[in-house]
Structure 1
Amino acid sequence: MRYLLLLFILFSNVLFSQKKLNLIPYPQNLQLSEGKFTISDVFTLSNDLPKEETEYFKKSLNSRLKFQNSDKSKACLVYSQLSKSKNSTQNDEFYSLEITPKQILIKSYTKQGYFLALQTLIQLFEEFKNDQQIPALKIEDQPKFAWRGMHLDVCRHFFTVEEVKKYIDYLAMYKLNTFHWHLTDDQGWRIEIKKYPKLTQIGSKRKESMIGAYVDNTFDGKPYGPYFYTQDQIKDVVKYAQDRHITVVPEIEMPGHALAALAAYPELACTKGPFEPATKWGVFDDVFCPKDETFKFLENVLDEVMVLFPSKYIHIGGDECPKTRWKECAHCQELIKKNNLKDEHGLQSYFIHRIEKYVNSKGRKIIGWDEILEGGLAPNAAVMSWTGVNGGIEAAKSNHFAVMTPGSYCYFDHYQGDPATEPNAFGGFTPLDKVYSYNPIPTELNTEQAKYILGVQANLWTEYIEDFKQVQYMIFPRLMALSEVGWGTSDPENYKEFEGRVINEFKVLDKMNVNYAKSIYNVSGKVIPKNNGVVYELSTSQNPSGIRYTLDETNPNSNSQAYQNPIPVSKSMTVKSAYFENGQLKSAVSSQQFTISKSTGKNITLEQQPSENYSFGGAFTLIDGIIGNQRQLGKTWLGFQGKDVVATIDFGNKTNFTEVYFNTLENKGSWIHMAKSAQIFVSDDNKNFKMIKEIGKDEIQNAKGKIKLNVGNQNSKYIKIKIENAGIIPAGNPGADSKAWLFVDEIRVN
């Protein structure tokens, strides 16, 4: 009997030691010990604790605890500063946290390490607040990546100083250390520059704002602004962030995204204007002209910026700069000849080099979006890789530092749940598990090259985010996934365990009155190929036995069909699903309409793959039975920049058909253009193809992208559909001279 009791005790201890505590990001090394530390009503602090960080700790707890100071021998919380040896592999953010039944001891090299340890301790206090006992343990911890950042665009929509401070608090809670503040753009100039007062007098307001989906092209008719931060407010925010060991990196956009500045100082453009801050979202042709007075203006602006921001890096934008005006500008063309530049891309490189040289002369470095690679990278520049991972790879291979922020994983303006149940978003589909799965080190880099990856950052662009409640909704809970990715302890194989910690953390956000997204509670659906067709698999973060669904277009209730196995989809139908607990609806109702054709679920291959940002589901998305919503660029569309869609479908057997359908989009403000042409081919051996139908741009345009092709009576094993990209965007359009986007959804054959 005693032997069985001993086994039970040992087994219980093993289970307890394997259970993860509710910490985000999870520490690198955590060992539980025997005993518990009891939190008494009076919590004594050692006299020599770092002052500012300890005050933050006391305010963060904001509980019934009373704090008193004492000497080390009697104090509950004690700190010891470490001395680093030359061969140490530990970085400046390292900390150890040891909790015994009698005392809590923190060790670190820096106040920053001490502050990070306090964040862990605050989470432990929250987790064990009910029984007031924290298990004895020892944590040795440090982040994998030096740059763990969040970006906030305050140009499309503005947020107050207090709201920005809340945003910084969120970063501190989850051990992020960089706040990227996007302060200037076409739609607004948000930072006071005393030498150029018209930047805020004129550039900080616009006559109206675009609302709704981009394709609606509607406006609210309401003046917006003037909104900007004074230099005193900037200093206040920077100090607030410094107290939380967060670096604020300002972004001053150049040479593109400059309309708000040009509205104030039109002489800095290639044409005379007049200009006004943009009311639409997107990219515009009017950019800074690379002439001496422009560079003097930017140098003066940067002088004031660098006084306000002590950060090592100054972000100079560099993205999405159309070359239309430069091509038409006599000064620009003369500058290209004079400096033996290859073309306008070379001129962009000249522009960035010149700005970098000035910033370097002030003891700082520049960082820019990956378009600063165009024409050759400036000598000391760092790259923020957003269009995919290639910018970061190219930078690292040429011994330049890079921050990885690819849109497909790190754009928090994308949908995070079923677009049909989510607020309007920019597009894309980046759910919590997708963020959590990201590895910032590209596999293409060797060990030495990987050292140039500074870290990871997520971006929040605010075209469709009008207030701070929506900011909260878009960053939470995805910020938690980002924090663990940046810390280097994410484990995508055990995502469900992480999801459980996130759900526990919701209690903290509830107490803080944070408007977080509850998308992970909703029932999510995944289309899976099976038996030459498809089935629809439902899942939820809760107990799957609570899922109910219907197939008759009525909303499910607690008595509807209980979900047990993937639902066969052999005909056109609508699946509605929801999660119920104790008979009560606990989620939004998800609805998925299927339109089944002879191509649904068949084998499909693509000659060229979609862009990383719009590739959810890959080629299978084109034959999964789901027709895309033209107002939502979510998970049902594939996007191809500068590439044709060439898809081959294998029916498995020779199949009769007479019609082919597909949809494409036009949204020129976002560089999305209708297809240029389309051709249909058939084959029985997948080698020799015969064209059976061809249509041109006019027919596609007249059909408004909803294409139905009558191809006569056909009988073949293979069908190939080639949809031609519009190519280079012509002059007079947003993004002129750049590669057009082609979006395609479902390819149906009947």
Structure 2
Amino acid sequence: MRLLLVFSLMISNLFFSQTKPSLIPYPQSLTIQEGKFVIPKTLILNDKLPKEETEYFKKHLGARVTFQSSGSTEKVHIMHMLIPQPKMPIDPQGDKERYSIDISPKRIFISSYTKQGYFLAIQTLIQLFDEYQEKGEIPAMEIKDNPKFAWRGMHLDVCRHFFTVDEVKQYIDYLAMYKLNTFHWHLTDDQGWRIEIKKYPKLTEIGSRRKESMIGAYVDNTFDGKPYGPYFYTQEQIKDVVKYAEQRHITIVPEIEMPGHALAALSAYPELACTKGPFEPATKWGVFDDVFCPKKETFTFLENVLDEVIKLFPSQYIHIGGDECPKTRWKECPHCQELIKKNNLKDEHGLQSYFIQTIEKYVNSKGRKIIGWDEILEGGLAPNAAVMSWTGVNGGIEAAKSKHFAVMTPGAFCYFDHYQGDPQSEPNAFGGFTPLDKVYSYDPVPSELTAEEAKYILGVQANLWTEYILDFKHVQYMIFPRIMALSEVAWGTSDPKNYKEFENRVIRQFKVLDKMKINYAKSIYNISGKVTPSAKGVAYELSTSQNSQGIKYTTDGTDPTVNSPSYKEPIPVSRAMTIKSAYFEDGQIKSAVSSQSFIPSKTTGKKITLEQQPSENYSFGGAFTLVDGILGNQKQLGKTWLGFQGKDVVAVIDLRVKTQFSEVYFNTLENKGSWIHLAKGAQIFISDDNVNFKMIKEIGKDEIQNVKGKVKLNVGNQNAAYIKVKIENAGIIPAGNPGADSKAWLFVDEIGMN
């Protein structure tokens, strides 16, 4: 009897996995029931359904929808009941967006507390109709659903590159598809001012254009020579977009950057700076020293700007930026120094807090709240401010512990301008490596928080910065399919242990994206490579979302064909080689060709330990990345580099046995616009016991500068069991550089020896 029960459960689970809808985000509760709802040629809807939301549903389904008077419900296929909200809701936000759907063979019945809940139910129905339309029937099921997080957001930078009103509306539609409810609109920055302010027309006359734009990799320092702009949104266009979003129950949070990222504004009104200028909108990417000066006329200007912004956007929060504000000009400004003394501020960081608090008081006086990037914590957080934690999770933790609300958007998981596949087969990106599975693995509630503190985590957001995104097709490529992973994380039903099941649902969703002609990334079809230690060095492990038996590869640098060797086990790497791989199906190539070159040395595959760990944003592969036999691409800050902010790299490599060598090499990187500086020095040590180390070589900044970070050191004939390499961070960025007075980044890749 027990065996029969187990067998019955196995059959039941198999049936459920085969019939499980490909809904994203997956509901909190979904129960498949007996029977099917046969999809009629024409859906009859109750005419008392919420009007705007139902029109949205009708528009999606097309001519197959008609309405019938509520006087007769016999033939109605879809009905809705608006439930009175409970007087004492357990979760006000959850109740606001809570809904249920009961699909029976006769009809579909929706219930919700609000029109917003009904709209979310509509999104679920749209996905079900898209999936089951060809079959002509939807399994009977009961869905009970509500989100975990109140803030489920996507950001779009329209300053580096501009997108039309129609494109912004499409972007909002993408959020609605996957039940995201917040659109963070980044409207001002160094490279462009994109919102009409009637009181200050020069903001768009001058600040909405630039003389040219940087192109290609940042290190190339090349420009297109083409004037860009004027590009901006009129206030009437803004109102139109806000209304469009409201119809989809999406809140738009505008961002007006201050006190940094202000060059476009200062180019129009230079009197708001600490120096006389002249200024122009930035043509490069990065961070710039000229920022708003905290004087009376500046605050008057910003208050007038915010007055017009607040009238346009009904959102509770106004985003005031607050990030990446160099203190160089403030240190040199007599007014700023006098302000620090007059208000008993500790330093320029205290002045930043003074600036933010002054703005917050004004925004609060208008019945709104401010939210800013986590640098607004510098010098003390404004009393009622919320924090958007991007540099990692610490900003969110600090905010929550001090009873301030926080939105989690750490770069390591939520920056969609990062690479999502092999950088060599992807469009140029800002850097980093954030594939679909990494986004899906994120938990927005830091483990360091208590249950009470966790209540201050409003939710999660992904950001799309557009330095390297020239058009809307590229926008689509960068957010799809990662927006699906974000949506399920934000909804609270993600399960990283069952990532493959989620990935299968994503692949089934691709049919919908194809119909919509969305240019989505197919990176999950491509071959993923992972370097692992082996007895003779390293091995290269290949995988794909498809059947791994379809992987073909070569080791001589030629492209694989259907006749190339089939991948069966990790490929040993004991010499210089280039491994190329691709996925084949029915004799046809189905993926991009992935390529990886190896240049092994005597450290390759050895055990390595780091005294200090890299930043989470640039930590793919951990310490082993430095001995995997792969040299980092100087133009791509992808998965082959480790990044350390304000930290030295101290690596100890266990060579296992005493090993002879005469050369040690490593690479560092320079990209000052992104605060990345070459190492200021390095030392090489050796040991036989991993306790007593002797220095055998030391070099300074000039020598590293001369070879542009590609450091090869002749250390004479050595014989040791351990080698320690210390690569010194440049420290605090000096005046005259982007990010002055901030901690420099040190990027390092392979540490080898011959």
| TM-score normalised to structure 2 length | 0.98
Residue correspondences, number: 747
Q: Deviations over 1:71-121 (max 9, x none)?
A: 334311111112233254552111001100101111111111000001001
Q: Deviations over 1:31-85 (max 9, x none)?
A: 0100011111121111211000000011112364555555334311111112233
CA distance in structure 2 between the partners assigned to 1:100 and 1:42 by the alignment: 17
CA distance in structure 2 between the partners assigned to 1:192 and 1:10 by the alignment: 62
In structure 1, the partner of 2:744 is 740
Alpha carbons of structure 1 residues 11 and 344: separation in structure 2 relative to 1, 3 Å = closer
Alpha carbons of structure 1 residues 92 and 336: separation in structure 2 relative to 1, 3 Å = same
CA distance in structure 2 between the partners assigned to 1:10 and 1:367 by the alignment: 50
In structure 1, the partner of 2:41 is 41
Q: Contact between 1:47 and 1:72, CA under 8 Å: does it hold in 2?
A: no
CA distance in structure 1 between the partners assigned to 2:467 and 2:120 by the alignment: 33
In structure 2, the partner of 1:158 is 162
Alignment of 1:396-407 (within 5 A): 396-407=400-411
Q: Cα RMSD between the aligned structures?
A: 1.5
Q: Report the AA paired with residue 421 of structure 2.
A: G
Residue 478 of structure 1, aligned match among 466, 477, 482: 482
Q: Contact between 1:603 and 1:649, CA under 8 Å: does it hold in 2?
A: yes
Helix, strand or coil at the partner of 2:563: coil
Q: Report the AA paired with residue 354 of structure 1.
A: T
Alpha carbons of structure 1 residues 37 and 150: separation in structure 2 relative to 1, 3 Å = same
Q: Does 1:131 align with 2:135?
A: yes
Q: Does 1:394 align with 2:398?
A: yes
Q: Report the AA paired with residue 77 of structure 1.
A: I
Alpha carbons of structure 1 residues 134 and 748: separation in structure 2 relative to 1, 3 Å = same
In structure 2, the partner of 1:615 is 619
Q: Deviations over 1:478-507 (max 9, x none)?
A: 000000000011111111111111111111
In structure 1, the partner of 2:78 is 77
Alpha carbons of structure 1 residues 322 and 5: separation in structure 2 relative to 1, 3 Å = closer
Identity over aligned residues, as a percent?
79
Q: Report the AA paired with residue 436 of structure 1.
A: Y
In structure 2, the partner of 1:180 is 184
Q: Contact between 2:32 and 2:140, CA under 8 Å: does it hold in 1?
A: yes
CA distance in structure 2 between the partners assigned to 1:62 and 1:408 by the alignment: 40
Deviates further, 516-525 or 182-191: 516-525
1:132 Cα deviation (Å)?
Answer: 1.4
CA distance in structure 1 between the partners assigned to 2:107 and 2:464 by the alignment: 41
Q: Contact between 1:411 and 1:458, CA under 8 Å: does it hold in 2?
A: yes
CA distance in structure 2 between the partners assigned to 1:7 and 1:715 by the alignment: 62
CA distance in structure 2 between the partners assigned to 1:10 and 1:546 by the alignment: 33
Residue 273 of structure 1, aligned match among 271, 277, 289: 277
Q: Contact between 1:642 and 1:728, CA under 8 Å: does it hold in 2?
A: yes
CA distance in structure 1 between the partners assigned to 2:35 and 2:178 by the alignment: 27
CA distance in structure 1 between the partners assigned to 2:63 and 2:74 by the alignment: 25
1:210 Cα deviation (Å)?
Answer: 0.5
Q: Report the AA paired with residue 534 of structure 1.
A: V
Alignment of 1:376-391 (within 5 A): 376-391=380-395
CA distance in structure 2 between the partners assigned to 1:393 and 1:5 by the alignment: 50
CA distance in structure 2 between the partners assigned to 1:7 and 1:566 by the alignment: 37
Q: Contact between 1:532 and 1:602, CA under 8 Å: does it hold in 2?
A: no
Q: Contact between 1:42 and 1:67, CA under 8 Å: does it hold in 2?
A: no
CA distance in structure 2 between the partners assigned to 1:249 and 1:316 by the alignment: 10
Q: Report the AA paired with residue 147 of structure 2.
A: P
Q: Does 1:171 align with 2:175?
A: yes
Residue 119 of structure 1, aligned match among 117, 123, 126: 123
Q: Does 1:435 align with 2:439?
A: yes
1:436 Cα deviation (Å)?
Answer: 0.5
Alignment of 1:594-613 (within 5 A): 594-613=598-617
Q: Contact between 1:652 and 1:717, CA under 8 Å: does it hold in 2?
A: yes
Q: Contact between 1:384 and 1:392, CA under 8 Å: does it hold in 2?
A: yes
Q: Does 1:321 align with 2:322?
A: no
Q: Contact between 1:69 and 1:75, CA under 8 Å: does it hold in 2?
A: no
In structure 2, the partner of 1:626 is 630
Alpha carbons of structure 1 residues 394 and 666: separation in structure 2 relative to 1, 3 Å = same
Alpha carbons of structure 1 residues 48 and 63: separation in structure 2 relative to 1, 3 Å = closer
1:334 Cα deviation (Å)?
Answer: 0.1
CA distance in structure 2 between the partners assigned to 1:182 and 1:101 by the alignment: 47
Q: Does 1:293 align with 2:297?
A: yes
CA distance in structure 1 between the partners assigned to 2:536 and 2:104 by the alignment: 60
- Structure 1 gaps of 5+ residues are none
1:8 Cα deviation (Å)?
Answer: 9.1
In structure 1, the partner of 2:585 is 581
Q: Report the AA paired with residue 290 of structure 1.
A: P
Q: Contact between 2:45 and 2:65, CA under 8 Å: does it hold in 1?
A: no
Q: Report the AA paired with residue 549 of structure 1.
A: Y
CA distance in structure 2 between the partners assigned to 1:5 and 1:703 by the alignment: 72
Residue 450 of structure 1, aligned match among 431, 449, 454: 454
CA distance in structure 2 between the partners assigned to 1:11 and 1:696 by the alignment: 66
Q: Report the AA paired with residue 75 of structure 1.
A: V
In structure 2, the partner of 1:683 is 687
Q: Contact between 2:681 and 2:698, CA under 8 Å: does it hold in 1?
A: yes
Q: Deviations over 1:283-320 (max 9, x none)?
A: 00000000000000000000000000000000000000
- Structure 2 gaps of 5+ residues are none
Residue 430 of structure 2, aligned match among 409, 421, 426: 426
In structure 2, the partner of 1:570 is 574
Residue 513 of structure 2, aligned match among 509, 512, 528: 509
Q: Contact between 2:536 and 2:574, CA under 8 Å: does it hold in 1?
A: no
1:573 Cα deviation (Å)?
Answer: 1.1
In structure 2, the partner of 1:16 is 15
Residue 341 of structure 1, aligned match among 322, 338, 345: 345
Helix, strand or coil at the partner of 1:25: coil
CA distance in structure 2 between the partners assigned to 1:656 and 1:446 by the alignment: 53
Q: Deviations over 1:681-703 (max 9, x none)?
A: 11111111110000000000001
In structure 2, the partner of 1:498 is 502
CA distance in structure 2 between the partners assigned to 1:182 and 1:333 by the alignment: 31
CA distance in structure 2 between the partners assigned to 1:569 and 1:398 by the alignment: 51
Q: Report the AA paired with residue 60 of structure 1.
A: H
Q: Deviations over 1:680-737 (max 9, x none)?
A: 0111111111100000000000011110011111111111000000001111111111
In structure 2, the partner of 1:284 is 288
Helix, strand or coil at the partner of 1:167: helix
CA distance in structure 2 between the partners assigned to 1:661 and 1:63 by the alignment: 67
Helix, strand or coil at the partner of 1:240: helix
Q: Contact between 2:687 and 2:694, CA under 8 Å: does it hold in 1?
A: yes
1:443 Cα deviation (Å)?
Answer: 0.8
Q: Does 1:99 align with 2:103?
A: yes
In structure 2, the partner of 1:62 is 62
Q: Report the AA paired with residue 54 of structure 1.
A: T
In structure 1, the partner of 2:641 is 637
Deviates further, 14-23 or 409-418: 14-23
Alpha carbons of structure 1 residues 74 and 591: separation in structure 2 relative to 1, 3 Å = same
Q: Report the AA paired with residue 379 of structure 1.
A: P
Q: Contact between 2:43 and 2:64, CA under 8 Å: does it hold in 1?
A: no
Q: Contact between 1:41 and 1:66, CA under 8 Å: does it hold in 2?
A: no
CA distance in structure 2 between the partners assigned to 1:492 and 1:82 by the alignment: 34
CA distance in structure 1 between the partners assigned to 2:746 and 2:69 by the alignment: 65
Q: Report the AA paired with residue 249 of structure 2.
A: H
CA distance in structure 2 between the partners assigned to 1:118 and 1:215 by the alignment: 47
1:591 Cα deviation (Å)?
Answer: 0.6
Q: Report the AA paired with residue 21 of structure 2.
A: L
Q: Contact between 1:188 and 1:277, CA under 8 Å: does it hold in 2?
A: yes
Q: Contact between 2:46 and 2:67, CA under 8 Å: does it hold in 1?
A: no
Residue 414 of structure 2, aligned match among 410, 414, 421: 410
Q: Does 1:541 align with 2:545?
A: yes
Deviates further, 638-647 or 651-660: 651-660
